[in-house]
């Protein structure tokens, strides 16, 4: 399933991370961050910012792209991973990262450990890898930008999941123990068990069925609905005790479609037990059975997932869902228009009055920003941060850039594939520098 390559992380200097952080800060209001702005934000003591930029581009932590107004840099997914892991290492939460144990359309799962040798799970959000991947080029997202910032949406999803996980754990729900998070990376306890989808035999299916239905009602009484309660998001221990995972899609019971989400979760469990174990029960909870006695949906606002962040995430995802529905219709219209143009040009050639049909290319003003929110649990003091002056970002005039890519001028930088011999392959573990 692959492995997160952390080979270069141990060899990177503090100046390299200052430059990466400067590009991240510049991307708050720039699609492409000019080199002069990066140098101004990084403010290296001995200069040499452009040398670090070239080296980071070589290692595919940054991407250099050409625009119509000016050239600039943008942060890649690998560079964003390095920034998050560097912060987690500095806080003593991560000491080593092992093999990949899971992969999905929205996240990658890795085994990790802290300084005490405790096994952890590192979840890295990867929104935009599959769903809505082609739609970024078709329409505008986030006001007048025509590219969705998947890095920014991944951070929002991580903030939401960690907030719900912490709130549920504090209430005694069977969820992994939250350890910490930074940017789009979440650390949690490693569950010793198997996904319910991999279980084919149960000693007592009725008992597990009752536990899952009770769990749905407990969540509802606290004001929450999971939204994706199925066999893929339930871990089962050797004692047949369930553990609930994956929380980015949780909604409040006051949501307009709360009853539909709740009924879908119930039906997912019923259908799975009927097909897999041949067990079917006439007793199942209904949305009207919920008696709300807690306000966990409101407490998550104070835990980091604020109302503003929720509105931004919901609006962005809703726009992309609407574009997904319109995408097929637009393709059919384009094909129909192309056929009409072909027949029209053929008829005009026969009449010796041919006309040329030009292709118009429109480019929209693009900007993408990343809110560098780092809500971390305190551990032996404050976390390490780079002393970068935010005022310098505000002093630079806001500029929109128009990006036009060509095959000769750019290269995709979404994954770092260097295989260095410095990695310990016998145990499959890479140590992160502290």
- Any idea which residues carry the catalytic annotation? 228
Q: Return the residue matching tokens 């994956």.
A: 246
Cβ count near 15 (within 10 Å): 16
Cβ contact 191:174 at 8 Å: no
Give one DSSP letter per residue of 158-186, joined into a string.
Answer: HHHHHHHHHHHHHTT-S-PPEEEEETTEE
Pair of tokens at residue 75: 């942060």
CA–CA distance, 332 with 171 (Å, rounded to integer): 51
CA–CA distance, 432 with 6 (Å, rounded to integer): 7
Pair of tokens at residue 265: 């979760």
Cβ contact 5:343 at 8 Å: no
Question: Residue 316: which region, alpha, beta or left (left: phi > 0; alpha: psi -120 to 50)?
Answer: alpha
CA–CA distance, 378 with 375 (Å, rounded to integer): 9
Q: Return the residue matching tokens 């080593």.
A: 96
CA–CA distance, 339 with 86 (Å, rounded to integer): 54
> What Rg value do the Cα atoms of the chain yield, rounded?
25
CA–CA distance, 230 with 216 (Å, rounded to integer): 11
Cβ count near 238 (within 10 Å): 8
CA–CA distance, 371 with 146 (Å, rounded to integer): 19
Q: Tell me the β-bridge partners of 64.
A: 73
Is 116 exposed, middle or buried, given 0-12, 13-18 or 19+ CB atoms closer than 10 A? exposed
Pair of tokens at residue 221: 């009484």
CA–CA distance, 250 with 151 (Å, rounded to integer): 21
């Amino acid at each position: 399933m692959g492995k997160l390559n952390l080979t270069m992380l141990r060899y990177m200097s503090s100046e390299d991370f200052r430059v990466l952080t400067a590009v991240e800060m510049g991307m708050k209001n720039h699609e492409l961050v000019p080199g002069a702005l990066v140098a101004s934000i990084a403010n290296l003591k001995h200069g040499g910012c452009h040398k670090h930029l070239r080296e980071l581009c070589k290692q595919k932590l940054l991407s250099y792209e050409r625009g119509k107004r000016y050239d600039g840099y943008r942060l890649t997914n690998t560079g964003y991973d390095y920034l998050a892991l560097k912060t987690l290492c500095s806080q003593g939460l991560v000491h080593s990262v092992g093999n990949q144990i899971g992969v999905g359309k929205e996240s990658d799962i890795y085994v990790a450990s802290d300084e005490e040798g405790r096994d952890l799970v590192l979840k890295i959000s990867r929104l935009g890898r599959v769903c809505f991947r082609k739609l970024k080029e078709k329409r505008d997202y986030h006001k007048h930008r025509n590219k969705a910032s998947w890095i920014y949406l991944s951070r929002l999803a991580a903030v939401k999941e960690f907030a719900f996980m912490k709130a549920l754990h504090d209430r005694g729900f069977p969820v992994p123990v939250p350890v910490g998070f930074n940017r789009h990376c979440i650390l949690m306890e490693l569950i010793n068990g198997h996904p319910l989808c991999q279980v084919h035999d149960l000693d007592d299916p009725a008992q597990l069925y009752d536990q899952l239905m009770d769990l749905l009602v407990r969540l509802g009484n606290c004001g929450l609905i999971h939204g994706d309660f199925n066999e893929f998001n339930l871990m089962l221990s050797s004692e047949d005790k369930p553990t609930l995972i994956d929380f980015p899609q949780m909604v409040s019971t006051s949501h307009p479609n709360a009853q539909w989400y709740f009924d879908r979760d119930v039906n997912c469990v019923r259908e799975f037990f009927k097909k897999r174990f041949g067990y079917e029960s006439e007793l199942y909870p209904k949305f009207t059975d919920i008696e709300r006695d807690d306000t966990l949906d409101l407490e998550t606002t104070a835990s980091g997932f604020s109302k503003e962040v929720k509105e931004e995430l919901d609006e962005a995802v809703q726009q992309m869902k609407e574009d997904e529905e319109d995408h097929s219709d637009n393709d059919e219209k384009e094909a129909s228009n192309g056929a009409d143009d072909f027949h029209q040009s053929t008829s005009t050639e026969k009449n010796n009055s041919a006309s040329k049909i030009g292709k118009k290319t429109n480019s929209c003003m693009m900007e993408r920003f990343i809110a560098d929110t780092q809500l971390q649990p305190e551990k032996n003091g404050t976390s390490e941060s780079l002393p970068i002056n935010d005022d310098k970002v505000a002093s630079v005039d806001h500029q929109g850039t128009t990006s036009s890519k060509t095959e000769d001028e750019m290269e995709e930088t979404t994954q770092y594939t260097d295989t260095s011999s410095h990695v310990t392959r016998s145990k499959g573990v890479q140590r992160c520098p502290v």
